[in-house]
């Protein structure tokens, strides 16, 4: 099994007949405002559901038709702060796609986070791709207090 590509996007449409996918609003950076809790990591609610989509191709000699795909979330300091799993089921003739929905994202600090894909094949788990996404906290503008002119 070979990883071909992965993206994060806001919307996708899969054509039922051809199985082609249209990717809409591909994302490589998210920013947010608001108070930051002291406890880290914390779940950052996303304004929309985002999809993590990967395409896979079978390789000569592949005997499995189901695979476990784990996505590890690595923060900018290099620490794994979470993960999620997808099952990859091969579809004829020789390729398939995994689609995972993300409604929240774990946040520790500003910077580039990595979604690290690991494929389990015949009881052997190996990393196959690293997908970056930049997460930034924007400071809220302080509210300006209305003042009266002095006399």
Tens digit of pLDDT at every position of the chain (151 positions):
889 999 999 999 999 888 889 999 999 999 888 888 888 888 888 878 899 999 998 888 777 788 899 999 999 999 999 998 888 887 766 678 888 888 888 899 999 999 999 998 888 899 999 999 999 998 766 555 555 555 5
Question: How high is the pLDDT of residue 116?
Answer: 95
What is residue 149's predicted lDDT score, i.e. its pLDDT?
A: 53
Query: Is the CB of residue 82 less than 8 Å from the CB of residue 73?
Result: yes
Cα torsion for 48, 54, 86, 61, to the nearest 10°? 180
All domains of the chain in start order, with CATH:
2-138 (2.60.40.10)
At residue 99, φ and ψ (nearest 5 deg) are: -135, 120
pLDDT of residue 141: 63
Q: Quick one: DSSP state of residue 91?
A: B
Q: Chain centroid to CA 29: how far?
A: 11
Task: Name the residue among 99, 88, 109 with its Cα closest to residue 10.
Answer: 99
Question: In the prediction, which pLDDT does 143 show?
Answer: 58
What is the pLDDT at residue 146?
Answer: 52
How many Å apart are CA 73 and CA 50, to the nearest integer?
A: 15
pLDDT for the residue 151: 53
pLDDT at 72: 93
> What pLDDT score was predicted for residue 123?
84
pLDDT at position 114 is 96
């Amino acid at each position: 099994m070979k990883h071909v590509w992965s993206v994060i996007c806001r919307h996708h449409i899969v054509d039922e007949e051809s199985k082609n996918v249209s990717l809409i609003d591909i994302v490589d950076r998210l920013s947010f405002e608001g108070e930051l809790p002291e406890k880290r990591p914390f779940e950052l609610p996303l304004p929309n559901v985002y999809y993590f989509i990967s395409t896979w191709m079978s390789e000569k000699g592949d005997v499995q038709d189901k695979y476990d795909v784990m996505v590890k979330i690595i923060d900018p300091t290099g620490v794994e702060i979470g993960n999620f799993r997808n099952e990859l089921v091969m579809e004829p003739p020789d390729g398939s796609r995994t689609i995972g929905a993300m409604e929240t994202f774990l946040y520790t600090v500003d910077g580039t986070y990595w979604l690290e894909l690991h494929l389990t094949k015949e009881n052997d788990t190996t990393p196959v791709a690293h997908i970056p996404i930049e997460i930034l906290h924007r400071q809220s503008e302080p509210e300006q207090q209305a003042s009266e002119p002095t006399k």
